[in-house]
Every structure is written in C-alpha cells, then in structure tokens.
Structure 1
C-alpha cells in the first residue's frame, strides 16, 4: 500500500515563525489544557495531546490500526513485504521478525566495540579543534557511519547517504508540496540505484550484515527481490541516522541551555548518563505519530468516525504533567522517564536500542574526555533551523579538556 495523500502537520499548528518551530511547547501545553482532543476540519483529522490518550492510540491496533492511505510520514514508501509501518499483527510480527535479529541486545553488544571506535575517533578530532560544530563533527557522522556499517554499505559514502536522507525526511510544506515531492522522488530513485549494485554484490557473496540477512530471509514461501531489499535498506539508513542525529544534537544543547550545570553533574556521577539520554528523548524531541480510526468510537469523548485519521502528539504527551511531575523542566536526575518518543506497543521503534547505545557511548566518552563545554552566549537556535523544521542543523561549542 502506498501512501496516497500527505498530512500537513504545520497546517494544524499554524506555525509560521522559526521561534515557534524551535519552541512549540507553549502551544502543546495550551492544547493539553484547552483542546486535548481536537478535530482539524481541513484535513478531517483528530488530534490528541495527553499522555494517556497518545499511548492508547499507539497501543490499541484494533481501534487505531496502522493501515492507512494518508500519513505524516515524509518519506516516499513502497508497499514491499518488509514494510512495517502500515501493518499490524499478525502480519506485522512476521515482517518485523525479518529485521529484528540485527537489533537484539545480543547483536548490539557485538557492535559496541565498533561503535566505541567510531566515537573515539570523532571525539579525538573534536579535542584537536577545541571549537567545533557538534552537529557536523559528531551528531551527523556517528549514526550514519554506524547504520551504514550495520547494513553493509560503504561507510565512506556517509555524506551522500546523509544528503539523500535529509531530502527524504524533509517535512512536507503545503505551499511547496509539488517541488518537495519531486525532490523526494529523485532522492529515493538515486538512493535505490546506489543500493541495487550493493545488494547484487552481496547476493553473489553473502556477508555478516543486515542486507545479507534480508537476501536470505524467506517470507510466506518467497524471498525478497533486490528492489525490496534496497528499498528496505534505504528506509533503515534514513531513519537510523536522522533520529540519532537529532537526539545527540538536542542532548548536548539541553545539558547546557535547559539545565545549566547538568554536565558537571554527569562529570561527578557517570551513572546519570543513560538518564540524561532518556530525559532528552522525553523533553526535547519533536514527534507526532498517526493512525487510522478503525471503527466509530467516542473513546476520548467526541464521536470519531471510522477511517478518519488521528494524530498522537508525542512531544506534548511527553510533557503532560498529569504523567510527569514538573514535566516542563529538564532534569538529568529524573527517575520515571517512560516517554513515548520511540512509540509504544508493537510499533515500538526497532532501532531504539541502537540509538540509545550510540547516545550513551558518545556522552560517556565526551564526559570522560572534556571537563566542560560551552555554547556561545549569542547562539540563537531559531537561526540554525532549516525551513519548517524543529531540528538544529548546527550547534557551535567550545570544549575544555
């Protein structure tokens, strides 16, 4: 099933200014308090902003199934046998099983030394320069290199892979929809054409990587075509680096700007590092996930009709003070951090353990190497945002050894 129609999230928020994209949280709070279940007439879409509502939307696949013909997802998607996004149990379990082996704790444990080597090299380069753009020197190259190696794609091509990913994950803008869709189609075509010879080479000589695993995998008595493997690898390469880049960037921003002194606390107590990663995911990570309404229901109060769409505003749910005490504050010592950033239920993000591992190893190594770091006083986040985007494309820092 291909997505036939795009949802435009910015048409719901009404955001125009970069200040609003960087700081959407006052709007989320207003919606939680005044319109926790909101109907957008223009796109015939329901929206929920509270934690309990969002979690139910993500967990209840019978009332809120994944199969839908409209979506927020910005990446062009084909209906191949490995597509997890628009499937539900029992089919989803079979499809997910084809990829899950590479992301089990045991498999990832084998990757720890390789990830640590990449981190060490990047941190050593930062130490030589002292003053760097942390996005370009760490947040971008680490995850794209790791996911490329994991799939079996030449890591030397990470910059080109990142360029394609940036285009594919660019948020849709109603005012420029045709131009964006054309750019995404070109990037998708080029990305798949790049991957097809790699898949063919691995089919001739299998290796220990995810692409080889997909070539060997059998699904309902059939094997995957080269095109299906390439399309799936494209999705994993894109999602596997975009999410972690955002996490790393926001984490280093929040440790200085959202909780001054937090980095010093990590220096004194390294056990706080995993909590700092989770708190970043809860506090500063723009996310909204959509589903279809499977039957007429008034589960959240208003009457919602079968086949309408519903959006779970995860970024709002993660700050819901009915669920998180002082939810509007960033706190690396927060204990209860059961956020919804990676989703919930059977669609919980397959790459979440890998993203967490990369972020923890990067922060532990950074804390070990540098006594402190600072962001310039005149740094304005809104000046470092791409159009219609919540994510920083640069973060200048000065490190101290």
Structure 2
C-alpha cells in the first residue's frame, strides 16, 4: 500500500502536454513524490504522437502517505462510524472510500470522516467563502471549536532535487492552512494565529482572556489552550444559542447601529443594558423594552432602543422571546490602559423566561486627562 495509482485529467503548464496515469510513492530519500506519464502532441513539438515522458512532482495532492489509510466515515450527523480505507484529496476535497480490498474505491461525501487520527467535518458550500464541498479538521471540540482547513495546489515550477543533482521536479504541491473559530452553533469565523485576531473573534468584555494571550506569533497548541480557557469563562446563558444568535446580519446590524452616547464618554460613564424584545410569526420585532434599571441621563437606554427601531424585521423562523445584553465598555488611555467593564448583571428572575442572546459589546477608547470613570446602574421602574 506504499504506492497509489490515480488517473489524472490535469493539464501541465504546457497545454500540449496531458497527464495520464499518476503514481504516488516515496523515493529512496524518503520524499513523497508523484510520478505521471505525460504525452506530448505531435503538433506542438513535432514528435511522434506516441512519444511520452515521465514527469516527477514533489509531494502529492493527498493528505496522507500511504494515500489509503484505515479510517471511518459517518454518512450523516447521527449515523454510526463505518470503517474503510480512506484517501483525502486536498486539491478538490474529494474523499475516496474502499470498504474492502475486494471492492473498488468510490468517491463519497460523508458528513464526517476520521483519517490518520484526525476528524474532518463537511462544511456547507455557503460557509468559509468556499464554493465547493469542503471539509475542515476538528482541532478542538468544545462549546467553542477550533477548525482547520487544508487545501493544496500544484506549483508548476521546475526545482532541483536536493538529493540528486542529475534529476529535478517539474513542480511541487503546496499545502495551505486556514483556521476558523466557531462559537456554539454560530457560523465559523476566520482567524489568524495572532493575539489581535483572537481578541476580535473571542469577544471578552472583561479583558481577562486578553491578558492570558501572549503577543508573540502563536502556535496551534497555543490557540487550543486559549480557546479552552475561553470556554471555561463562557457564562451559561451565552451557550443557549438559537437560530437568531446565528444570524450574522442581525448581530452586525446592531453592532454598527448601537453607538456609545457622547454624554456618557464625556463623563467617563460605562454600563450594561438588557433589551427585551419579541419576534412574531411574521418576523416583526415587537415589544422592545429595557429590562435593566434606567440609566437616566447617560443615553445608554436610548442608544439601544434607537438601534432596534431601525431593525424592524428578521426571518420569521426566529419567532420567540429574547433578551440581548448590551455592554458599554470604557477605556481612558490618559489615565490607565485598563478596560473598564460593568460588573452589574440582571437577576435571573427578571429575565421573564426569555432566551438570552450572546452579549453585544460596544467599546469606547479615549484620551482625556483628569477624567475619572464610573459604572452606571440606575434604578428599576
């Protein structure tokens, strides 16, 4: 099983040269190589039509070597794991399954598969900006998931074989990794292995998570630890994800339209507002009201209700009763780099049995000397 033969319909960089049968193997120096038979047309090179040559490529388009590995496929989310020999093509994300040596391999599109000890999950075509069926590796599987997309492409460039000066490769396969974070059931969001990128995706108004992320270039292992830490800090209410909390358009609209009140930041005020609202069977947003105490005089209440007035309708599938916590955080760099985060929260008995959505954070950063800060938490009506 150390050799794997495929039929390739790819065209080489010279359009007149077509590839036929390709074999993935290892050379004497332990390098994975793909060897293809190429056929050159008579019109292009004035050679006999039957002339051909072997083309050597460094690496292969497959995830593993040997290409076929013992693994399992899961046909749907609730289905059982079926053992088979698997090959995963990183160029077109095709999965080949061979149930037994007596049965020919066939291309399958399972919900998930495990190969080489790693689990891959199929992603909808509309996600990740990819137009074809794609699979991502499940690097960390918690309430928050760390996913990795692996794609490969052929770089058609002659390179010298580092072991034998007399031979060269006509190209090589280049694998690219992309990472995504998925919080609960929300769509995966692309993330780079940097502190700034993680802070953007893992919104933590307390600032405690940020303090644990090093400023250096992070490794995959570092990010797993950070995401694990993030999971441990998630309040139970934010894990109650609904279809509405998965709607990026809903969240983005409010993020853009809830503005930090000028009078609040001019007075160093920060606070938290809980907005209750209903979505009826037609998708209309109704009964918007503040469940938290009135923050009289600083405009937090009005900033939230004005945004909801502009967002009059969502999908009818989201019918239900909700509460959205909106947290206004405040940083005055002339005084301190500390991010001031409100600590007051709404008691459970005042949630009125509503589904609590993930918190919306509205930050402000200013530089104003001599201005002290304070949390505003008013009084109940």
* TM-score, scaled relative to structure 2: 0.19
Larger relative helix fraction: 1
Larger relative strand fraction: 2
* TM-score, scaled relative to structure 1: 0.18
